[in-house]
């Protein structure tokens, strides 16, 4: 993430030269780590889908006052045609329901550590999909970040498989 955020130039990091979206993403990554850690704290017997439903209901209720305030102030209103409903259905099923269920299931089965390795692929896929669908340019620092991500995953997964030597008694 740091390679992409700094565009491969550490001077950006030392000068604290960030775009506003970069700082939002750093906060989001921190909050995601807390969320992932808290997934393991789920009460015993609470099914993953029940937990996910509760989270989604809480999310809708949390954002509802902001939606109502925007409508009251007179902000942009949505024209609820076919494309909007299709986009809403896509967002509700794939990145919301399915992705969160898969993540929660993985954390529930193997803990937060192993799935967190693969969470680092998100910026890589964001760059790849923006290149495919939006025509964005892939820069050298994207490739460098991809190499670092895959190397990090490889090292982390293989380090876990190495047997720990027993200390010899004196």
Asked if residue 124 is part of any domain, the answer here is yes
Query: Given this model, what pLDDT does residue 132 score?
Result: 94
Tens digits of pLDDT across the chain (170 residues)? 667 667 777 676 666 666 778 788 888 888 988 888 887 777 667 777 888 888 888 888 998 898 888 878 876 777 778 898 898 888 888 888 888 888 888 888 888 888 888 888 888 888 899 999 999 999 888 898 899 989 988 998 887 655 656 565 44
Q: Are 101 and 45 in contact (CB under 8 A)?
A: no
- Hey, CA dihedral for 26, 29, 33, 38, is it positive or negative? positive
Widest pairwise Cα distance in the chain: 77
Count of structural domains within the chain: 1
**Residue 152 CA: distances (Å) to CA of 17, 108, 122, 136, 144:** 26, 23, 14, 26, 12
- 0.75 surpassed by pTM: no
Residue 26 domain boundaries: 2-160
Note the pLDDT of residue 116: 86
- Residue 51: alpha-carbon gap to chain centroid: 18
Q: CA dist 21 to 6, 12, 27, 44, Å? A: 13, 15, 10, 37
């Amino acid at each position: 993430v740091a390679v992409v955020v700094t565009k491969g130039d550490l001077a950006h990091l030392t000068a604290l030269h960030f775009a506003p979206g970069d700082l939002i993403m750093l906060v989001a990554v921190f909050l995601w780590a807390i969320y992932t850690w808290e997934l393991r704290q789920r009460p015993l017997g609470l099914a993953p889908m029940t937990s996910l439903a509760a989270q989604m209901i809480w999310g809708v209720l949390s954002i509802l006052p902001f939606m109502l305030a925007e409508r009251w102030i007179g902000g942009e209103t949505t024209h609820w045609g076919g494309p909007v409903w299709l986009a809403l259905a896509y967002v509700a099923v794939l990145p919301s329901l399915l992705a969160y269920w898969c993540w929660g299931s993985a954390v529930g089965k193997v803990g937060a550590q192993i799935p967190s390795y693969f969470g680092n692929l998100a910026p890589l896929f964001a760059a790849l999909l923006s290149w495919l669908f939006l025509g964005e340019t892939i820069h050298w620092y994207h490739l460098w970040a991809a190499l670092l991500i895959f190397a990090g995953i490889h090292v982390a997964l293989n380090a876990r498989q190495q047997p720990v030597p027993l200390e010899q008694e004196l």
